[in-house]
Amino acid sequence: MFRLCLLQFLSSSLLLVCQTGNTQAWDTGVGADFSFRELGNFWIGGEFVDNGNGTQSVRGQTYVEYYLPANPRPDAPPIVLVPGGGLLGSIYGTTPDMRPGWALYFAIQGFDVYTTEPYGRGRAGSGPWNSAAWVLWDMGEEPGVRCDNCAFPEEAGAYRMWMSQFAGPEPPAPQGAGRGGRAGGPGGIPTASATDRLGETGGPGGGQQTAALTELLDQTGKAVVIAHSAGGAAALRLAAARPELFAALITVEPSGCPGLGGEQLAAVPYMNLLGEYGNLTTHTNCMALMKQSLEAGGAGGAARFLPDFGLTGHGHLLMQETRNDEIAQLMIDWISAGYPNEIE
Parts of the chain with a pLDDT under 50: 1-31, 171-206
Give residue 38's pLDDT.
96
Q: 118-141 pLDDT, tens per residue? A: 887 877 766 667 788 777 777 777
Domain-located, residue 320: yes
Give residue 244's pLDDT.
96
Domain-located, residue 25: no
Q: How many domains does the chain have?
A: 1
Give residue 127's pLDDT.
65
Mean pLDDT value across the chain: 77
Give residue 96's pLDDT.
87
Domain-located, residue 43: yes
Domain-located, residue 18: no
Give residue 331's pLDDT.
97
Domain-located, residue 16: no
CATH number at residue 106: 3.40.50.1820
Give residue 295's pLDDT.
86
Question: Three-class SS string for the chain?
Answer: CCEEEEEEEECCEEEEEEEECCCCCCCCCCCCEEEEEEEEEEEEEEEEEECCCCCEEEEEEEEEEEEEECCCCCCCCCEEEECCCCCCHHHHCCCCCCCCCHHHHHHHCCCCEEEEECCCCHHHCECCCCCHHHHHCCCCCECCECCCCCCCCCCCCHHHHHHCCCECCCCCCCCCCCCCCCCCCHHHCCCCCHHHCCCCCCCCCCCHHHHHHHHHHHHHCCEEEEEECHHHHHHHHHHHHCHHHEEEEEEECCCCCCCCCHHHHCCCCEEEEECCCCCHHHHHHHHHHHHHHHHCCCCCEEEEEHHHHCCCCCCCCHHHCCCHHHHHHHHHHHHHCCCCCCCC
Domain-located, residue 196: yes
Give residue 33's pLDDT.
66
Domain-located, residue 208: yes
Enclosing domain of residue 310? 37-130+166-172+191-336
Give residue 10's pLDDT.
28
Domain-located, residue 150: no
Give residue 160's pLDDT.
77
Q: 36-79 pLDDT, tens per residue? A: 999 999 999 988 888 888 888 888 889 999 999 999 999 999 99
